[in-house]
Structure 1
Amino acid sequence: MNLKSHLIFTLYTVYGILLKGISGQYPLVQNVTVTEGGTANMTCRVEYNDNTSLQWSNPAQQTLFFGDKKALRDNRIELVRASWAELTISISDVTLSDEGMYTCSLFTMPVRTAKAYLTVLGVPQKPEIDGFTKPAVEGDHITLTCMTHGSKPAADLRWFRNEKEVKGAKEVNASGKTFTVRSSLQLHVDRNDDGVAYTCKVDHVALTQTPQQATEVLEVHYAPRVEIVHSPAVPQEGQYLKLECVSKGNPSPDPVMWTKDGSELPDLDRMIVEGRDLTFTSLNKTDNGTYRCEATNHLGTSSAEYILYVYDAPTTLPPSTTPPPHPIPPDPTAQLGARASDPTVTGNRDPNALGQHGTDHALIGGVVAVVVFVTLCLIIVLGRYLARHKGTYLTNEAKGADDAPDADTAIINAEGNHAHAEEKKEYFI
């Protein structure tokens, strides 16, 4: 390498070192965000330092630490690390007044500085719900108001009806560095709101693990509604019957009142009232009538009616589920009739099916008998008619031969009559 090249290389090396020293002596800081009541760590670093001291100052330009020397008497401020390349301090139990621009200074010639902004988040207080006085009455209009103080930035309030979110009207007011947030919910309450939990939740960046919320469980008073549930569906003599008076109201309408046809129950030995239930131990015809259940609370009265008609007890025993001790031989006549209509039928026949075939055979036999009777009558009438006309014909043939002494003479006379008949013919010209 010649002298000129060596000189140029040396100049570039020195220039690089100078640039590195100059750039490395600028302090480096970062903005910090902390929740009110927490601890903020403020760090200042340099890449290259020629034994020059670092210093932290607060927004009021008060020196907090100069190197490892504490300058401000504040027990909340502590030294974390101090060296030629780094100065880190901590501020515990941070308040909103600690928020602002903090300055890290490097005492070179000239002094170089860097600024970091400390943001303090205001934690919203636990919300409170106002506007509800227990109990409400069905049909009332009420306004639930949820409010929280001290949030920074302004918090968000959300309403939930049980687990389903509902929308409220939000209002934000500034109070110094913090905000007061309100949210209102308009309700027209009915019996379906009784026992419903309305919850107001606070959403905020400072509430990462323990969200703030408040819950109000509504109590709504309403008039009773009554219905009667009964069993069995077809009441019969001698049966057990239970009528249940189902009444819903708040306050609960206990006890309920049972009447029959507008009067008191007539037979308390068989008609037993237990709570809301009316029980008949054994029904009979005298129990027929209209039964009324009535429930009352301070908001009103409700009633329901049940018309009882007791049917006769069944006169036939139900078919036995056990087989007879000895098999009953099938009826051959019924089997023959069944085989004539269905060749697949075997000897074991259903008794109800045999009875049905017997009824069909009787009907067919009656129809056949009527047809035979009508046919015989027609034959008799026709025979008498033919017999009458045949006698008249024979009488005309034998006219004039009745006085003949024998058959030959009768024939001759008959022929003679025909001859005379021909002779008696007259011809007119």
Structure 2
Amino acid sequence: MRPVRSSVLCRLLPTPFSPALRSLVLVLLCLTPRCQAVQAENVTVLEGGTAQISCRLQNYDGSIVVIQNPRRQTLFFNGTRALKDDRFQMVLFTPRLVRITLTNVSVSDEGGYFCQLYTDATHHQVATLSVSVPPETPTVEVKQEAVEGGEVELSCMSPRSKPAATLRWMRNGRAIPGVVSQQDNAKTFSVSSTIRIPVERKDNGAALSCEASHPALSGQKRIRHYRLDVYFAPTVRIVPPPGIMREGDSLSLTCSVTGNPLPRNIQWSKINDTLPERAEISGPTFQISRLSQLHNGTYLCQAQNNFGRAADHYTLLVYEPGAVVETHSAVPYAVIGGVLALLVFTVICVLIVTIWCSVRQKGSYRTREPILAWY
């Protein structure tokens, strides 16, 4: 609470005195025991809390003390209630201090409360009541659906605070700059912060948060968490069985599907043919018991949602029980070819270096032959 400058309740001086001289005389007069003074104290309180409004008296001689609200309605007259508002209570009335309390404070209670002391002339001091309104946890609004390859617009809103709250978007510990707008709603403020970010399917489920900070929160923050919901077309992959299929074996295929929203219906079909009678379909699983070569062919798995369609295929080749099947090496031919090419290149390089060294060595021998001189 911050004290307000005191009003000195003394007899007014004649007008011929200059303002400076009158001020000096008033100060000197107030140093005497006969001069009364009242001092009011400003107060700030949270909405819904309790405010204490105090009027300090100096050299009080029993004069009438009146406390009025900002609308100049008398709340208490010499300690007696004058206004029927049970939120106001007189808690202290002494020759030095008069104090009232106001419970369940609202922003409509803001303003100057008058401490009046009636002597030869009526003087007053004003205790200013300020009400602080901390923000609630902000809300997040999505302007349109977030679709892969597009942008999403998100708005964080704090509808009521005083003074205006500060909003900040965060992602992975980093702030995201937003466009802030503020509206004055008479006694309080509404604030919003809007961001636009590009989205891909990898952003689906990404965590964002909007933080609201305010002086009344004492360094704490009100945080709203939000997870991105990014829509994208499905992907389909058939998981094949291990090894080769022979007559009498059972085939089991699984269609692995992703997408947002996840496709509800998965369709199995056989290209250029109908599905075998013994085929059993259970969602993403396709099974055929007791395979025969009549089941040979290409099987297709398809899925779709509102954002696209995808498919994958598997070619079934059923062998006779005693057939000898040549299995392919697990190492791709491209890798083998690359290794062989590297070996050939290395051999050629070694041969070239060997020949070059041999040639240089022979040349060196020739330069060292003795030179015969004839006399």
TM-score class, shorter? 0.5 to 0.7
Q: 2:53 maps to which residue?
A: 42
Structure 2 counterpart of 1:302, from 307, 310, 321: 310
Higher relative contact order (CA 8 A, sep 6+): 2
Q: Which amino acid aligns with 1:88?
A: R
Show CA shifts across 1:141-190 (max 9, x none).
34222333342101122446699875432222334343231211213344
Displacement of 1:225: 0.8
Equivalent pairs: percent with the same residue? 36
Cα distance 1:306–1:165, how it changes in 2: closer, same or farther (>3 A)? Answer: farther
Displacement of 1:32: 1.5
User: Aligned partners of 2:45 and 2:274: how far apart in 1?
Assistant: 77
Q: Which amino acid aligns with 2:301?
A: C
Q: Name the structure with the higher strand share.
A: 2
Show CA shifts across 1:207-242 (max 9, x none).
68x98777777655432210112333x235354442
User: Aligned partners of 2:175 and 2:321: how far apart in 1?
Assistant: 58
Q: Which amino acid aligns with 2:253?
A: L
Matches within 5 A, 1:45-194: 45=56, 54-59=65-70, 63-71=74-82, 74=85, 76-104=87-115, 116-122=127-133, 124=135, 127=138, 129-130=140-141, 132-133=143-144, 137-159=147-169, 166-192=176-202
Structure 1 stretch 235-244 or stretch 111-120: which is displaced more?
Answer: 111-120
Q: 2:267 maps to which residue?
A: 257
User: Is the contact made by 1:67 and 1:83 (CA closer than 8 Å) also made in structure 2?
Assistant: no
Q: Which amino acid aligns with 1:184?
A: T
Displacement of 1:97: 4.2
User: Is the contact made by 1:236 and 1:313 (CA closer than 8 Å) also made in structure 2?
Assistant: no
User: Aligned partners of 1:254 and 1:174: how far apart in 2?
Assistant: 48
Q: Which amino acid aligns with 2:304?
A: T
User: Is the contact made by 2:208 and 2:226 (CA closer than 8 Å) also made in structure 1?
Assistant: yes
* SS of corresponding position for 2:273: coil
Q: 1:243 maps to which residue?
A: 253
User: Is the contact made by 2:133 and 2:216 (CA closer than 8 Å) also made in structure 1?
Assistant: yes
User: Aligned partners of 2:161 and 2:265: how far apart in 1?
Assistant: 52
User: Gapped runs of 5+ residues in structure 1?
Assistant: 1-18, 316-429
Q: 1:402 maps to which residue?
A: none
Q: Name the structure with the higher helix share.
A: 1
Which has more radius of gyration?
Answer: 1
User: Is the contact made by 1:103 and 1:114 (CA closer than 8 Å) also made in structure 2?
Assistant: yes
User: Gapped runs of 5+ residues in structure 2?
Assistant: 1-29, 324-375
Show CA shifts across 1:52-105 (max 9, x none).
665434456665434313355655433222222331112234343432344545
Q: Which amino acid aligns with 1:36?
A: E
Paired residue total: 294
Displacement of 1:303: 1.3
User: Aligned partners of 1:243 and 1:143: how far apart in 2?
Assistant: 41
Using the size of structure 1 for normalisation, the TM-score is: 0.53
User: Is the contact made by 1:32 and 1:117 (CA closer than 8 Å) also made in structure 2?
Assistant: yes
User: Aligned partners of 1:46 and 1:151: how far apart in 2?
Assistant: 36
Structure 2 counterpart of 1:31, from 42, 47, 61: 42
User: Is the contact made by 1:54 and 1:84 (CA closer than 8 Å) also made in structure 2?
Assistant: no
User: Aligned partners of 2:31 and 2:320: how far apart in 1?
Assistant: 115
* SS of corresponding position for 2:240: strand
Displacement of 1:263: 2.5
